[in-house]
């Protein structure tokens, strides 16, 4: 981590201050939020909330990566979303979650008790406006992902995934074009609707094709950005939102 988050700093120094649900809030509104919040950290691999659990808190992801997923009776798992810093967990007007939320890396949450938070949402339009904006962005992203899951080949899925990782990578300095792959092969497979073997095979093919180069299992660089995009199956301008 190049960046260390310090819980004692106020909202003003919060790394997600300008992208989270509080993005539009003014100083007064921030003070109100400040009085309600508390932090919680979760270790990589731990489940944050199980599907069907009571939603006692509403949270913003401050640092780390979490996943949203569902598992069918027989164990087949599908990831339905990746939560990055500034994304929120929970929703007003519903008291249970529909998906399992799991910490992919170590995670820090900024939490609010549900009841007071819901009241606050009604009273501070800046919060509800921002939440709607974020919900609609997520909806577009989810629909983009549906196209991938329903119609793309394994190769196209991998290419689209890598392109998304690169686009969303917020590493301050893209150190020599190196990017971190935050997921294991199995997690990638569950995200793309594939098996881990197919993910591994397709990554090998793209290595051989000179599109991507791995320095180790978790670090890669794109060596041919155009070829990567051509392999996604998307048209020139069309891009994923997520």
Partner DNA sequence: CGCTATCTTGAATCCCTTCAAGTCGCGTGG
Partner DNA sequence: CCACGCGACTTGAAGGGATTCAAGATAGCG
Cβ nearer to a second copy, comparing 33 with 148:
148
- The verdict on 119 binding DNA (CB under 7 A) reads no
Rounded to a whole number of angstroms, the minimum distance from the CB of residue 4 to DNA is 20
Query: Quick one: three-class SS letters along 56-117?
Result: CEEEEEEECCEEEEEECCCCCEEEEEEECCCCEECCCCCCECCCEEEECCCEEEEEEEHHHH
Handedness of CA 71, 77, 81, 86 (dihedral sign): positive
Contacts of 188 (CB under 8 A, 6+ apart): 158, 161, 181, 194, 196, 199
Rounded to a whole number of angstroms, the minimum distance from the CB of residue 27 to DNA is 43
- Residue from the set 121, 201, 221, 223 that interacts with DNA by CB under 7 A: 201
- The verdict on 217 binding DNA (CB under 7 A) reads yes
Which of DNA, a second copy, none lies near 204, with the C-beta cut-off 5 to 8 A by kind?
DNA
Rounded to a whole number of angstroms, the minimum distance from the CB of residue 205 to DNA is 8
Rounded to a whole number of angstroms, the minimum distance from the CB of residue 207 to DNA is 8
Would you put residue 233 in left (φ > 0), alpha (ψ -120 to 50) or beta? Answer: left
Residues interacting with a second copy, by CB under 8 A? 68, 70, 72-74, 76-78, 80-81, 91-94, 98-99, 122, 125, 128-129, 131-133, 135-136, 138-140, 142-147, 149-152, 192-193, 233-235, 241
């Amino acid at each position: 981590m190049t960046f260390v988050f310090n819980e004692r700093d106020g909202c003003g120094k919060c790394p997600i201050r300008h992208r989270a649900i509080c993005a539009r809030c003014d100083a007064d509104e921030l003070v109100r939020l400040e009085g309600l919040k508390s932090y919680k950290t979760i270790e990589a691999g731990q489940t944050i909330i199980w599907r069907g659990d009571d939603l006692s808190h509403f949270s913003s992801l401050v640092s780390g990566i979490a996943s949203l997923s569902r598992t069918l009776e027989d164990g087949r798992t599908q990831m339905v979303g990746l939560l990055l810093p500034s994304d929120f967990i929970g929703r007003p007007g519903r008291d249970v979650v529909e998906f399992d939320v799991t910490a992919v890396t170590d995670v820090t949450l900024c939490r609010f008790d549900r009841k007071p938070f819901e009241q606050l949402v009604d009273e501070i339009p800046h919060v509800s406006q921002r939440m709607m904006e974020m919900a609609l962005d997520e909806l577009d992203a989810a629909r983009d992902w549906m196209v991938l899951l329903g119609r793309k080949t394994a190769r196209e899925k991998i290419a689209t995934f890598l392109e998304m990782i690169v686009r969303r990578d917020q590493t301050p300095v893209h150190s020599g074009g190196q990017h971190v792959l935050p997921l294991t092969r199995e997690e990638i497979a569950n995200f793309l609707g594939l098996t881990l073997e197919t993910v591994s095979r397709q990554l090998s093919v793209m290595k051989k094709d000179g599109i991507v180069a791995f320095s180790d299992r978790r670090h890669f660089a794109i060596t041919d950005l155009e070829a990567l995009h051509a392999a996604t199956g998307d048209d020139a301008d069309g891009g994923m939102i997520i």
